[in-house]
Amino acid sequence: MMKFIRTHLAWKVLLSYLLVVFIGILVLITAASLFVPSTFERHMASMNAIMANGSNAGSDEEMQAELFSQYTVAVYEAVGYAAIAALVAAIIASILISRQVVTPMLRMTSLSHRIAEGEYTERLKLPGGMQAGQVDELDQLALSFNQMAEKLEKVETMRRQLIGDVTHELRTPLTAVKGYLEGVMDGVLPASPETFQQIHSEIDRLQRLVNDLQELSRVESGAVQLELAFTSPAELVEKIQSNFSNQFNEKEIRLETDVEPGLPEILVDADRIIQVLTNLVGNALQYSSSGGRVSIDVHQEKSEIIFSVNDTGIGISAEQLPYIFNRFYRTDKSRNRASGGSGIGLTIAKALIQAQHGRIWAESQGEGRGSTFSFSIPLINETDRTAR
């Protein structure tokens, strides 16, 4: 019972009110028990004095008046002491409730103003050992407040990191374009088709980066309209195999596919799944050497269809795996920039898969031992499929 009261503020307030009433009643009863005997003794003394006078005239009226006077004094004394005790109890209870309610609210208000001014590291101080189910509503509010502040801090950190990353990524092609143009202007570089082709390549790279950033923003904000339709997983793999066959032949890398027979259709945006597979297979091709192998495997696990792209390329270290889907993260910065990659392809792939209620992850045995990128798409049961 006490645990229940400790974890509910409303019961604490009600208990404080009941405590004030209880104290008032207790003091009233105590005062009555203390003052009634003395009042009775005073009354008897007065009666004896009246009887001693030996006068009968008006004795009844005098006795009634004396009795009423003594009764009134006793009641006023008892009620007065009870009122004083109840007032003191009410003041103490109000102070305690104010400490539990008003003080945390004032701290929260002050902190919210500081957070609004950009001080995202501010947190409310909480008692140690707080656990869910053992705190009242105000403590839960304080925990939620700190969680909100923590998320705001993470968002601000990501915003600053994104600005820094974008600035860095934009600076590289812009510096290259500026260098080529200054070289042509100074006569160091010839105004030849080759020079202009280099400038054009850097501008293309800059345009790809801007387009990728725009698409990532649209996907993460939910602005991308998915055109969902039931699609065969085998058809998606066949499309990828057809698109990449020439590139794999030129680099002398084997492209293999293994699609489990009889797979059910999946409800996806086929173009977006092709986009994700293109990114994964393209990365596998880029990081695999001549004579290597890339395989696309598709199979069913419970209520999901799993797509996997395996390669025999450079692999990924255990330290890098947790960050592989972060914006602008590169396992091999020099090779990726040289190939013109924007560094956010996997981030876009992750956002597209999650938008279709799927999961995406990466696995690797370590550097030089290849890697596997997989994503899952949930199956739609027959009831939902018929409804659609």
Domain match, 323 and 200 both: no
> What's the pLDDT score for residue 57?
46
Q: What is the pLDDT of the chain when averaged over all its residues?
A: 80
Q: Considering its fold, how many domains does the chain have in total?
A: 3
pTM of this structure = 0.58
Q: pLDDT band at residue 303, thresholds of 50, 70 and 90?
A: very high
Q: Say whether pLDDT at 215 is over 50.
A: yes
Mean pLDDT of 214-236: 86
- Is 337 exposed, middle or buried, given 0-12, 13-18 or 19+ CB atoms closer than 10 A? middle
- Of residues 90 and 227, the one with the higher pLDDT is 227
Domain match, 362 and 269 both: yes
How far is 27 from 85, CA to CA, in rounded Å? 7
Domain match, 252 and 206 both: no
In the numeric block, which tokens belong to residue 131? 């656990």
Write down which residue in 180, 200, 220 finishes a domain: 220
Q: Say whether pLDDT at 166 is over 80.
A: no
Domain match, 262 and 369 both: yes
Count of CB atoms within 10 A of residue 255's CB? Answer: 18
Please identify which residue in the block is written with the tokens 């009423």: 68
Domain match, 383 and 265 both: yes
Q: Residue 86: inside a domain, yes or no?
A: yes
The DSSP bridge partners found for residue 309 are 296, 373
Write down which residue in 67, 84, 116 finishes a domain: 116
Q: Residue 131: inside a domain, yes or no?
A: no
Domain match, 43 and 186 both: no
Note down the domain range covering 209: 137-220
Q: Say whether pLDDT at 178 is over 90.
A: no
> What's the pLDDT score for residue 388?
53
Q: What is the CATH number of the domain that holds 199?
A: 1.10.287.130
> What's the pLDDT score for residue 120?
82
Cα-only R_g, the chain? 41
Q: Residue 124: inside a domain, yes or no?
A: no
Which pLDDT tens digit goes with each residue over 238-281?
999 999 999 999 999 999 999 999 999 999 999 999 999 999 99
Domain match, 233 and 182 both: no
Answer positive or negative: Cα dihedral of 207, 212, 217, 223.
Answer: positive
Domain match, 273 and 157 both: no
Q: pLDDT band at residue 61, thresholds of 50, 70 and 90?
A: low
Q: What is the CATH number of the domain that holds 285?
A: 3.30.565.10
Domain match, 233 and 201 both: no
Q: Say whether pLDDT at 106 is over 70.
A: yes
Which pLDDT tens digit goes with each residue over 40-54?
666 666 666 666 665
Domain match, 233 and 338 both: yes
